[in-house]
């Protein structure tokens, strides 16, 4: 099982916004440079996150993007649903009628349970949690001495 590039970069973009909340809106250019991703790709991700209600875009001088809700109100499950969709890992978990073997298949239950477990796990992490961990790591790096 793999997470898409959309999920990985989208999460990094939201974390960037959470880490810079106090500084006001972030431009796509600032974020793209910090994340090492193209501005065009980042803009597409931010538009998806905006449609999902996770970020706001502000126009004009000093505009850019910011979180639409507090960082402790946005979970990784919210991000997953915004960027990956709400369907299960396999189509039959959300719509058993798409599978000709649905009545006899024992794997559908396994896939549905796996999906539910993963969603619960993602829901246990907020952007505030990740921002706190990132700041702790940055502070730890500042204390490192190299000889």
**pLDDT, tens digit (0-9, with 9 covering 90-100), for 52-79:** 999 999 988 888 999 999 999 999 999 9
Q: Which pair of tokens denotes residue 59? A: 């126009």
The answer to whether 79 touches 13, Cβ cutoff 8 Å, is: no
Q: How confident is the model at residue 36 (pLDDT cuts 50, 70, 90)?
A: very high
* 1 has a pLDDT exceeding 70: no
Three-state SS for 36?
A: coil
DSSP codes, 81-100? HHHH-SS-SSHHHH-GGG-T
Q: What is the pLDDT of residue 99?
A: 81
Q: Which domains does the chain have, with CATH numbers?
A: 5-142 (1.10.10.10)
Lowest-pLDDT range, 26-40, 86-100, 133-147? 133-147
Q: In the 8-state DSSP scheme, what is residue 12?
A: H
| Residue 144: Cβ within 10 Å count | 6
pLDDT in tens, 82-106: 999 888 888 887 777 788 887 788 8
Q: How confident is the model at residue 142 (pLDDT cuts 50, 70, 90)?
A: low
* pTM of the predicted structure, to 2 decimals: 0.86
């Amino acid at each position: 099982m793999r997470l898409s590039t959309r999920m990985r970069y989208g999460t990094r973009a939201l974390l960037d916004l959470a880490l810079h909340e106090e500084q006001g809106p972030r431009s796509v250019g600032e974020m793209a440079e910090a994340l090492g991703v193209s501005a065009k790709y980042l803009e597409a991700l931010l538009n998806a996150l905006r449609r999902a209600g996770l970020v706001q875009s502000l126009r004009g001088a000093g505009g850019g993007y910011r979180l639409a809700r507090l960082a402790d109100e946005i979970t990784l499950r919210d991000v997953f649903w915004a960027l990956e969709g709400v369907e299960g890992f396999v189509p039959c978990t959300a719509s058993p009628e798409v599978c000709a073997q649905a009545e006899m298949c024992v794997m559908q239950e396994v896939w549905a349970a796996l999906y539910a477990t993963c969603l619960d796990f993602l829901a246990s992490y907020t952007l505030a949690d990740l921002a706190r961990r990132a700041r702790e790591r940055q502070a730890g790096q500042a204390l490192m001495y190299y000889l």
